[in-house]
Amino acid sequence: MKLVGGARVRPGQHLRDVTIPLSVIRDVTRSSLGTNAFFPPDMRPGELGDGAVIERRGPYRFLVHESFEIGQMRFSDLRSRAYFTLGGAVRRYLKHYRAELKYRQIHINRWK
């Protein structure tokens, strides 16, 4: 059982109706990018369907790769945006998933 933003979560359990500080999400992402060049660690830009992935290119260079569903099982070309801060990259990553976060009633504190 892990503690995520004050909520106890069992492995495989989905979060619902919780509030998570943006700083916790940023810290988890920073920790993951310390050992792996991608977040989430098991995703690569070429494997995206409708999704986003953060790539660490250096201490102050992050790329957020995104692809969108444009039709049934049809996806857009991969788009990449560069960020000099991890916070900016994490906000862009979360923005990609905002509809799912809203559906699951997951609220991010200090969303800017």
Q: Tens digits of per-residue pLDDT, 67-91?
A: 887 777 778 788 999 999 999 999 9
Question: pTM surpassing 0.85?
Answer: no
Q: 18-67 pLDDT, tens per residue?
A: 788 888 889 999 999 999 999 988 888 888 788 899 999 998 999 999 98
Q: Strand 38-39 and strand 74-75: pairing?
A: unpaired
